[in-house]
Amino acid sequence: MNFDLIVIGSGPGGYVAAIRASQLGMNVAVVEKENLGGICLNWGCIPTKALLKSAQVYEYASHAAEYGVVATDVKPDFEKMISRSRGVADAMSKGIQFLFKKNKITVIEGFGKLKDNHTVTVSAADGAQTDYTAKHIILATGARSRELPNLKQDGVKVIGYRQALTLPKQPASMVVVGSGAIGSEFAYFYNAIGTKVTLVEYMPNIVPLEDEEVSKTLERAFKKAGITVKTQASVESVDTSGELCKVTIQTKKGTEEVEAEVVLSAVGITPNLEGIGIEELGIELEKGKVKVDEFYRTNVEGVCAIGDIVPGPALAHAASAEGIVCVEKIAGLDPQPVNYKNIPGCTYTTPEVSSVGMSEKAAVEAGYEIKVGKFPFTASGKATAAGNRDGFVKLIFDAKYGELLGAHMVGGNVTEMIAELVVARNLETTGHELIKSIHPHPTMSEAIMEAAAAAYGEAIHI
């Protein structure tokens, strides 16, 4: 065998799995057809956050007078924002190169395909093919922007997230289809720098996986910022023959037409399963994804799969956790399976959104008698001082045992606050234990303690 482990794909699932395997003494190779770090580092999580930071800085500068600062002739430089975003992505990709070198991981450039359960055929850019063998193979090929039949992407007028990160010029108008994390973040960014944005969502609420109160709060913030939000609506067709796209939208009130320079399709992702040897090896699929056990083993001995190509949330941090569990099991350790009920979700709009566990509606439907505590940031000294009082912290407890069933937040910096509640749930912390855990003042995070207190009728500041 050439290697103990070959990982196909170097995204947050693949590169983390490779590094952990190397730490455990394995001889590891990673096959990557494009950039180290995968979609997340190069075309997703990281460059989008760079753009969102640019938008936030522009918004701060535009409202500098409210903070006693004089700033004149403030305007966005779209090309420089895009350039900075690409620079941030490149720096992070180089960081993965350093980590691979540090951990003595072999990088094989090209497209990897399973030849058998211990062999990967790698096709290089020049067409040359080379076989590499390993005791174990992990598929971590990720996903791409999903295309709808009536919303075909041409990369110019109808685009996916990759083109949205590298547009040559700022569009005057844009229709964003889908209000999950990707759609909402791009809607916020482009609107913040002056593009006229229409956000179309098929479900009754934007960010539809979030608690309903959170969704409604974000929708109000979007509308206040000037975004046109259409829920319970669907794009029926897009006519790209003219200078502007003519977007036909079916809404609750009937059919209407919206014109825009660009249409961004953000309706989800499609796993990258084509051409990697799945069918030839008889690897079992389930609902379009690779079927695996709790340690990410497929039905074919020696072949595992992690990340966006397996069932579960398509999140970078979930893929990383899966990769670690997978290689630790391969190495003969006894890892705990990933707890999919305790994976946080974050949306980096303004205001931010974060959550973990059950929504209030889901907890009631599951038969729990619940206590709900909510603390608004209007009552937070830190939020008031920061000039951003939108949002709240909402905690849901099992009334019988005090277990924290779910946490839902919308507001400034809440994506940095959610980890406390992930740990609390992991440690089976009760509501009263949260109340008695002294939080520093003034901070945004003390709203967690206050929300827990509110659930038990002990809130001091509301």
- Is a pLDDT exceeding 70 seen at residue 49? yes
Q: What local confidence, expressed as pLDDT, does residue 1 receive?
A: 66
Q: 420 labelled as ligand-binding?
A: no
**pLDDT tens readout for residues 311-369:** 999 999 999 999 999 999 999 999 999 999 999 999 999 999 999 999 999 999 999 99
- For the chain, list the domains and their CATH numbers: 3-144+270-340 (3.50.50.60), 158-267 (3.50.50.60), 351-455 (3.30.390.30)
Q: What local confidence, expressed as pLDDT, does residue 40 receive?
A: 84
**pLDDT tens readout for residues 211-234:** 999 999 999 999 999 999 999 999
Average of per-residue pLDDT across 165-194:
97
**pLDDT tens readout for residues 245-289:** 999 999 999 999 999 999 999 999 999 999 999 999 999 999 999
Q: 268 labelled as ligand-binding?
A: yes
Mean pLDDT value across the chain: 96
Q: 184 labelled as ligand-binding?
A: yes
- Is a pLDDT exceeding 90 seen at residue 43? no
DSSP string of 167-232, one letter each residue: -SS--SEEEEE--SHHHHHHHHHHHHTT-EEEEE-SSSSSSTTS-HHHHHHHHHHHHHHT-EEE-S
**Residue 344 preceded by cis peptide, ω within 30:** no
% of the chain beyond a pLDDT of 90: 95
Give buried/exposed letters for 220-256 (b at 16+ CB in 10 A, else e): ebbeeeebebbbebbbeebeeeeeebebebbeeeeee
Average of per-residue pLDDT across 137-158:
93
Give buried/exposed letters for 194-218 (b at 16+ CB in 10 A, else e): ebbbbbbbbeebbbebbbebbbebb
Residue type, 252: K
Q: What local confidence, expressed as pLDDT, does residue 408 receive?
A: 98
* Lookup result for tokens 């794009």: 235
Q: What local confidence, expressed as pLDDT, does residue 42 receive?
A: 87
Can you say how many angstroms the Cα of residue 347 is from the centroid of all Cα atoms in its chain?
Answer: 7
Q: 277 labelled as ligand-binding?
A: no
Confidence of residue 41 (pLDDT cuts 50, 70, 90): confident
- Is a pLDDT exceeding 70 seen at residue 75? yes
% of the chain beyond a pLDDT of 70: 100
Average of per-residue pLDDT across 41-66:
94
**Residue 171 preceded by cis peptide, ω within 30:** no
Average of per-residue pLDDT across 5-29:
97
Average of per-residue pLDDT across 433-440:
97
Q: 49 labelled as ligand-binding?
A: yes
Rounded to whole angstroms, the Cα distance separating 135 from 115 reads 13
Question: Which residues lie below 8 Å from residue 283, measured CB to CB, with a gap of 6+?
Answer: 114, 277, 290, 298, 299, 300, 303, 305
432 catalytically annotated: no
Rounded to whole angstroms, the Cα distance separating 438 from 143 reads 42
pTM: 0.95
Find the angle CA(61)-CA(62)-CA(67) to the nearest 5 degrees: 65
List 136, 408, 432, 441, catalytic entry: 441
Q: 11 labelled as ligand-binding?
A: no
Burial class (CB in 10 A: 0-12, 13-18, 19+), 351: buried
- Is a pLDDT exceeding 70 seen at residue 310? yes
Rounded to whole angstroms, the Cα distance separating 372 from 215 reads 17
Q: Are 366 and 423 in contact (CB under 8 A)?
A: no
SS3 459: coil
